[in-house]
Structure 1
């Protein structure tokens, strides 16, 4: 199973240069949590603790962890934790799909028949490195240097208390539902304007940032798949953040602003393969910070 091979990898650095080590033989972090009295057990708290209280050590490894949680009178849950350095969303879905096939085979179902990928992640890195060193890669670098030229300031996002001098890096989420009536109207507007839903919601995101800050020169990133079809079955970190820059004056109509964002998005997607990490070398330092400040992920479920 490819996920097991990923789990044999650790990462270190020498003189500031990172490198990876692929270990021989099984290298699996698997544990079971059995709670016989499930009356007071909170599954979400248990799962959160496994993630937040046991950080992955990339030097000691492995970067993949499995935890089977069994609570009396509840369905057992297998928690799969993978460090982002060796995985992305596509890889996680692939690994879970393969695991499901293996589980069905073990429980009397049809054979999993999992073919080994024809390509490897190391091959992808070799191809990307060769492309970046080519004239095509240089053209992409120049495109993004021009697209992100000048100084794009950090967003002055309002807070309910002063920011600490040293960030804690503690995070949280705020889930909320978008009313079905609004979703319907947005789909209709996208159809009327002949734009992809991503462009419409991305425009709304920019307007939201503009109204929060009053700033006009805005930049955010959207995640791109980062892999071609021949690498669909390969596990690894392929995803690439694509920078989208918009100028929101607050005086245009939303439809006019949507047209601007749609054009910018279409152009950016034709230049989506240049790594965001390399853009930092060609842009203003303040712009580098702005590129890392916000992101917009759209999933058309």
Structure 2
């Protein structure tokens, strides 16, 4: 097993390899270590130590520094893509991120609104709008943007659940004005008694899935402290999104950009035909952004069987699912070359872990399927490819397409 395969296998069972005083230490669910994986760790200990030392050095060196204040700032490639797509009919609403959850108990709306205001003051992304300067889209950071917690009640509604679905749909399909802002809406709905629903909607150009979780965590934390009679204190962020945008542009112009470009050029993705499936209706001539999603749930026994197979093959569930999905699409379409798109957090630097903003990136995962290749060999091939590809997770999809 390679060093990266060992690390991936350890993480899959909840074990993290760490460097402590120059020694290798395994932290987490070490009881789940199989004899085979433990032997692989022992055999590859020297390489593991070298890898961890190098990674630690890279982490220390990879620092984003604040830039000087300006009237406006360049967009990241992901923001630029969102900006362009939002100019199309329906494109703006297609990139809304809606979410919501139930609150049980008495809710102090005034304190809740204050908690959101504190979060908005902390994160510049929540105070950002977009404009065009010399035909170029730019982001503008404001000292303040208007925000108000919307409130309504569904008490007395004949069907509260149906009415709540309508409220969520209306909020989710709100069309944000990227130039005026704000680009976040929050609504508190009284359902009856001490039951409430808190719905919120943000435009993807200032947020992503990670950011949504962070927003909820921070707001609820501020709300709890205020309700306990404590003053709300926040720790200033070391950087903001505009600093990340400048750092990313500089990174692309350096050695990372050259290596990433060479890596993606070697993939030769332009020769892969688009996936053709036996659709139940013709594909529209123009993009409509209309669509839906469906979910499939595995039983506990199915999940355990897949976990066991992944452990046996020293890979992750992600790679196993990738292999199974690729083979399924191959069977349905008859195509031997496939590209799957996968979102990735894009927060390779520790400073980005507490940031609200658009950091997520989409990576194309290429695979070629041949009937002569055994499944285990195919799975190992995909596992290596995933590890290689994730090394370039900061390289934006737009540039990959240009390559």
With normalisation by structure 1, the TM-score equals 0.86
Q: Distance in 2 between matches of 1:82 and 1:224?
A: 19
Per the alignment, residue 237 of structure 1 pairs with 358
* Cα separation, 2, equivalents of 1:79 and 1:223: 24
Closer, same or farther: CA 243–149 of 1 in aligned 2, 3 Å = closer
2:237 to 117, 124, 139: 117
Question: How far apart in 1 are the matches of 2:280 and 2:210?
Answer: 37
| Count, aligned residues | 281
1:280 to 1:118, Cα distance in 2 relative to 1, 3 A: same
> Once the 2 structures are TM-superposed, how far is the Cα of residue 195 of structure 1 from its aligned partner?
0.7
Looking at structure 2, the residues matched to 170 and 271 of structure 1 have their Cα atoms a distance apart, in angstroms, of 31
Question: Does the CA contact (< 8 Å) of 1:8 and 1:28 recur in 2?
Answer: no
Contact 1:220–1:244 under 8 Å retained in 2 = yes
Large movers: runs of 4+ above 6 Å? none
CA separation of 1:44 and 1:250: change in aligned 2, threshold 3 A: farther
Secondary structure of the equivalent of 1:12? strand
Instruction: Encode CA deviations 1:69-118: one digit per residue, 9 max, x unaligned.
Output: 12224611121211111111121111111100111122226554321111
**How far apart are the structure 1 equivalents of 2:145 and 2:177?**
17
Structure of greater Rg: 2
Gap change, CA 1:150 and 1:242, over 3 Å in 2: closer
Asked if residue 272 in structure 1 is aligned to residue 393 in structure 2, the reply is yes
> Do 1:28 and 1:62's aligned partners in 2 also have CA atoms closer than 8 Å?
yes
Q: Scaled by the length of structure 2, what TM-score is found?
A: 0.66
CA RMSD of aligned residues (A): 1.9
Bigger helix fraction: 2
**Counterpart mapping for 1:138-153 below 5 A:** 138-153=258-273
Match of residue 199, structure 2, among 46, 54, 79? 79
Structure 1: which 5+ runs fail to align?
Answer: 283-301
Superposition deviation, residue 64 in structure 1: 1.0
- CA separation of 1:272 and 1:23: change in aligned 2, threshold 3 A: closer
Which residue in 2 is equivalent to 1:130? 250
1:159 aligns with 2:276: no
Asked whether the 8 Å contact 2:145–2:182 carries over to 1, the reply is no
CA contact (8 A) 2:278 2:333 kept: yes
CA distance in 2 between counterparts of 1:236 and 1:209 reads 33
Indicate yes or no: 2:291 matched with 1:174: no
Gaps of 5+ in 2: 1-117
Q: How does 1:32-111 map to 2 (within 5 A)?
A: 32-41=151-160, 42=162, 43-52=164-173, 54-73=174-193, 75-108=195-228, 110-111=230-231
Q: Does 1:258 align with 2:379?
A: yes
Does residue 204 (structure 1) correspond to residue 204 (structure 2)? The answer is no
